[in-house]
């Protein structure tokens, strides 16, 4: 009898050991594997890192995916290349954009342009770009992108399928931020050593208009859905300025009340980051020195409503397509209605993730069906 009990205990111990051995690698693989552990359905936040300069302490290196509908839980990391040829370290991520038509996400670095498949996560191609890249933007039909050189004097018009350069638009001082309008008719080109924003006609891929001049060099900006207003950050301004896109004139300056301008650690600009909520009812504005978001009404007189303290200096802000959540680059997830910070983005190692290059991509049955934008664009059409 005692012998049978010993045999039973020995067999049970072996079974437990084997089960534990098989379980631990599976659990670990769900975190570390590049394969999606489940069929992606719903809304996901994609964050490209290092998305604050080359700071690897803010999420490491790769394309990080978070489940918006389940508490912004970390899903997976897609690694990509983009290594600096001089020192072997990951290069700064300069921009992120999506082509739903091609099931692709595009990432720019200081040196080049990468295209990744949104279904498999695999790199489709990577191309070095002469004079580097900055913050790109892609047409609503997903076929064409406007790709600024790295603060050089031109924008490249690029075929999203092949990565081939279709045309070059010259005549700038320091090409930087780019917004392809939701209508697909215009592209807004912000030269950070210019006080105006140039406007390109996408039928001819030529600059046909401009708006400004504003009070100083233009930094981040956003536009409303009907393309009648542009809201810009300017050097030296804790606040924003408004341009009328129908007349091409600056019409207003709004200064943040109750807060000193102060000095900033990055960007050299007091307010670097501005976004319209998708319903265009509010403007959310970054305050680098005071590490806050200031919120204004989205229509004149642009009343200052409230402020939200953040854990780090914000350099960007964008929203989910439905306007429920706001994402400052400092890593917080904010409920737009209540102004409450719900959580902070964390990677698979529970490190805080910060990035100025984030956007929403929605999936159905494993395929991308809709995408937001790295800019906080107004979406009232």
For the beta carbon of residue 151, count every other beta carbon within 10 angstroms.
16
Give domain limits for the chain. Answer: 2-25+38-371
Angle at 32 between CA 31 and CA 36, to 5 degrees: 70
Can you give the pLDDT at residue 13?
46
Q: Give the integer Cα–Cα distance in Å for 363 and 98.
A: 13
Q: Give the integer Cα–Cα distance in Å for 353 and 343.
A: 11
Helix (H) or strand (E) holding 155: strand 154-159
Q: Give the integer Cα–Cα distance in Å for 172 and 155.
A: 8
C-alpha pair distances (Å), 45 with each of 35, 71, 234: 17, 11, 28
Can you give the pLDDT at residue 84?
62
Closest listed residue to residue 275, CA positions, set 245, 314, 312, 248: 314
DSSP secondary structure, 166-233, as one string: EEEEE--SSEEEEEE-TTSSEEEEEETT-SSEEEEETTTTEEEEEE---SS-EEEEEE-TTSSEEEEE
Edge-to-edge, what's the strand order for the sheet holding 218-223?
218-223, 229-234, 239-244, 249-255
Q: pLDDT by residue for the chain (381 residues), tens digit each?
A: 444 444 444 444 444 333 333 322 222 333 334 444 568 999 999 999 999 999 999 999 999 999 999 999 999 999 986 656 667 788 899 999 999 999 999 999 999 999 999 999 999 999 999 999 999 999 999 999 999 999 999 999 999 999 999 999 999 999 999 999 999 999 999 999 999 999 999 999 999 999 999 999 999 999 999 999 999 999 999 999 999 999 999 999 999 999 999 999 999 999 999 999 999 999 999 999 999 999 999 999 999 999 999 999 999 999 999 999 999 999 999 999 999 999 999 999 999 999 999 999 999 999 999 999 999 999 999
Cβ atoms of 341 and 333 closer than 8 Å: yes
SS3 state of residue 23: helix
Q: How crowded is the C-beta side of 285, counted as CA atoms within 13 Å?
A: 34
Q: Give the integer Cα–Cα distance in Å for 3 and 347.
A: 51
**Does pTM top 0.85 for this prediction?**
yes
Token readout for 9 is 């205990």
SS3 state of residue 90: strand
Can you give the pLDDT at residue 32?
39
Cβ atoms of 340 and 332 closer than 8 Å: no
SS3 state of residue 68: helix
Q: Which CATH superfamily is domain 2-25+38-371 in?
A: YVTN repeat-like/Quinoprotein amine dehydrogenase (2.130.10.10)
Q: How crowded is the C-beta side of 158, counted as CA atoms within 13 Å?
A: 28
Helix (H) or strand (E) holding 17: helix 2-32
First-to-last C-alpha distance (Å) of the chain: 81
Chain centre distance of CA 100: 16
Q: Give the integer Cα–Cα distance in Å for 133 and 276.
A: 25
φ, ψ at 23 (rounded to 5°): -75, -45
């Amino acid at each position: 009898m005692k012998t049978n009990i010993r045999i039973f205990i020995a067999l049970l111990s072996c079974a437990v050991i084997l089960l534990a051995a098989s379980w631990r690698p599976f659990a670990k693989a769900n975190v570390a594997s590049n394969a999606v552990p489940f069929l992606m359905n719903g809304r996901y936040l994609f964050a490209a890192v290092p998305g604050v300069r080359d700071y690897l302490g803010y999420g490491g290196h790769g394309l990080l995916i978070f489940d918006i509908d389940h508490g912004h839980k970390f899903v997976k990391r897609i690694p990509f290349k983009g290594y600096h040829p001089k020192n072997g370290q990951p290069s700064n991520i300069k921009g992120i954009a999506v082509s739903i038509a091609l099931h692709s996400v595009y990432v720019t670095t200081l040196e080049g342009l990468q295209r990744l498949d949104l279904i498999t996560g695999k790199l489709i191609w990577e191309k070095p770009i002469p004079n580097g890249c900055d913050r790109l933007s892609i047409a609503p039909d997903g076929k064409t992108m406007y790709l600024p050189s790295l603060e050089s004097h031109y924008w490249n018009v690029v075929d999203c399928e092949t990565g081939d350069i279709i045309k070059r638009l010259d005549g700038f001082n320091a090409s930087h931020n780019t917004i392809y309008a939701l209508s697909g008719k215009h592209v807004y080109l912000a030269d950070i050593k210019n006080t105006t924003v140039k406007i390109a006609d996408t039928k001819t891929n030529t600059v046909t208009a401009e708006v400004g001049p504003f009070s100083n060099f233009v930094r981040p900006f956003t536009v409303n859905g009907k393309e009648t207003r542009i809201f810009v950050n300017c050097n030296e301004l804790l606040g924003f300025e408004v341009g009328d896109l129908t007349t091409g004139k600056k019409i207003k300056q709004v200064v943040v009340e109750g807060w000193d301008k102060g000095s900033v650690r990055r960007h050299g600009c007091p307010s670097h980051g501005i976004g319209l909520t998708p319903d265009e009812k509010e403007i959310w504005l970054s305050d680098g020195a005071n590490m806050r978001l200031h919120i204004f009404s989205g229509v004149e007189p642009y009343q200052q409503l409230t402020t939200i303290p953040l854990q780090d200096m914000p350099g960007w802000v964008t929203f989910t397509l439905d306007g429920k959540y706001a994402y400052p680059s400092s890593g917080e997830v904010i409920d737009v209605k209540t102004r409450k910070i719900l959580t902070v983005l964390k990677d698979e190692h529970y490190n805080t993730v910060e990035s100025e290059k984030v956007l929403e991509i929605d999936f159905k049955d494993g395929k991308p069906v809709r995408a937001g934008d790295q800019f906080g664009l107004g979406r009232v059409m």
